[in-house]
A and B are shown apart, each in its own frame.
Chain A
Amino acid sequence: MIRLEKIYKKFGRLEVLKGVDLNVEKGEVVVIIGPSGAGKSTLLRCINLLERPTSGRVIFEGIDITGMDGRAVDKIRERIGMVFQHINLFNHLTAIDNVTLAPMKVKGLSKSEAEHIARSLLERMGLGDKLYSYPSQLSGGQRQRVAIARALAMQPDIMLFDEPTSALDPEMIKEVLDVMKALVNDGMTMVIVTHEMGFAKEVASRIIFMDDGCIIEEGTPKEIFSNPKEERTAMFLSKILY
């Protein structure tokens, strides 16, 4: 579904990605782990071109989208949902308006169609009683679940999660991970950057370990967690697993 070929990304003189190749098949759940500064988020943001690779190719369903701009990129982004570490709910809109905005303005759905979808999504997220709350009236975990509903409302083919629980209080992490787990069970294709190793172990079809702008190692959760081949992977895991 998604293929990244030799992705390089430089910010000024800082080289954040150094020739990364990545393939994501339909139905896969790919979890990217690694120390901060490894380039995980940047890689994720290259998939929907929020970040433009300095060189390399991004291929979505067989089409090279790297050089696309304007309307063409918007069209691709409709099909790639994204959830952010800093949540980024639209602060001036209620929960339901956050979810209905893009289906109405981008897909041209009527208000009642969009609200029908939004209502059932928010109910699925356990937020049926928060439809008309503003982001400032919601907890971090509730906000992130609204953000997931907002992305899902576009009925994307794939979902990108950029450290979705890193900015949350500890007691709210589980409610967000539970919602993500439900998505995995529905067969959603997902790419997840996270530090939640227990969650990664449980849901990943493939784990990718990144360090210093490169993919160091990839494999099944079992291979990576129980039997890492690379020393750097082993060292990283020994530091973060108790």
Chain B
Amino acid sequence: MTNESFFPFLVGILPHLGKGALMTIELTIISVGIGVVIGIFGGIARVSRNPILLIPSTIYVEVIRGTPLLAQLFLVYFGLPSLGINLPPFTAAVIAMGINSGAYVTEIFRGGIQSIERGQMEAARSLGLSYLQAMRYIILPQAFKRILPPLGNEFIAMLKDSSLASTIAIAELMRVGREITSRTFRSFEVLAVVALLYLAITLPLSLLVRYTERRMSISD
């Protein structure tokens, strides 16, 4: 098998790598999905003048962004069991990655909310809308449009970072690649294909991000 020429070899391993890639995508979608939910509330908290919202959300963002995702992942998967909380690898991964993504998405939402002119909030409040109603009906819909490109970038970043989940026995793209490597010893070829598969997912995405960015700069 090790002497097999490249293309038949590639055809043999592609279905496995494909499955890994699907797992990578699934992991990323769920994590960024959690991140967006956290980010909406986090972003609102970060622009609040109420210290009960502002201080915890600021600490959250700084702690998460200032520590490595790998450490966060290990803390959830290997650390929590010593507190009696045992999580299956996939659950541990989406929790750690979701919380991690939430910090970045929080900052994306904060920036988006702050980019909306102050007059929009004032006009809404002058009509009798509450602060939260103004956020929901006026500020967030406008902010959401503006944050689509950075949100796309966050998705791309998280997709690559999800390779860290290979360290806790999740059969995503990186892990599958390493397993094939250890079976076949054809490290360079396999890892190059793995890298290309990541690129095959991220490249169309980043082109899409650039396209929406350009379209938005025209319409604004």
User: Which residues of A come within 8 Å of B, CB atoms?
Assistant: 48, 50, 70-71, 74-75, 77-78, 80-82, 84, 86-92, 101-102, 105-106, 147, 150-151, 154
- B138: nearest chain-A partner, CB-CB: A90
Known: A84-B119, A84-B122, A86-B119. A102 touches B145 (CB 8 A): no
Name 19 A/B residue pairs within 8 A (Cβ), A-sorted.
A48-B126, A50-B122, A74-B128, A74-B129, A77-B125, A77-B127, A81-B127, A88-B119, A90-B120, A90-B123, A90-B138, A92-B141, A101-B129, A102-B124, A102-B127, A102-B129, A106-B128, A106-B133, A150-B123
Q: In the bound complex, how far is the Cα of B124 from the Cα of A154, in angstroms?
A: 12
Assess whether A88 is in contact with B122, with CB atoms less than 8 Å apart. yes
Give the B interface residue count (CB, 8 A).
18
Residues 107-124 of B, flagged 1 when their CB comes within 8 A of A and 0 if not, give: 000000000010110111
Residues of chain B within 8 A of A84, CB atoms compared = 119, 122-123
Assess whether B127 is in contact with A150, with CB atoms less than 8 Å apart. yes
The answer to whether B137 has its CB under 8 Å from any CB of chain A is yes
Distance between B204 CB and nearest chain A CB, rounded to angstroms = 28
Assess whether A92 is in contact with B145, with CB atoms less than 8 Å apart. yes
Residues of chain B within 8 A of A102, CB atoms compared = 124, 127-129
The answer to whether B181 has its CB under 8 Å from any CB of chain A is no
- Name the 9 nearest CB pairs between A and B, nearest first: A78-B128, A88-B119, A102-B127, A88-B123, A82-B126, A106-B128, A77-B128, A74-B128, A92-B142
The answer to whether B167 has its CB under 8 Å from any CB of chain A is no
Distance between A12 CB and nearest chain B CB, rounded to angstroms = 16
Distance between B132 CB and nearest chain A CB, rounded to angstroms = 11
Q: In the bound complex, how far is the Cα of B127 from the Cα of A83, in angstroms?
A: 10
Assess whether A151 is in contact with B127, with CB atoms less than 8 Å apart. yes
Residues of chain B within 8 A of A71, CB atoms compared = 130
- A82: nearest chain-B partner, CB-CB: B126
Q: In the bound complex, how far is the Cα of B122 from the Cα of A46, in angstroms?
A: 13
Distance between B78 CB and nearest chain A CB, rounded to angstroms = 46
Distance between B120 CB and nearest chain A CB, rounded to angstroms = 6
Quick one: which of B119, B126, B133 has the most chain A CB within 10 A? Answer: B126
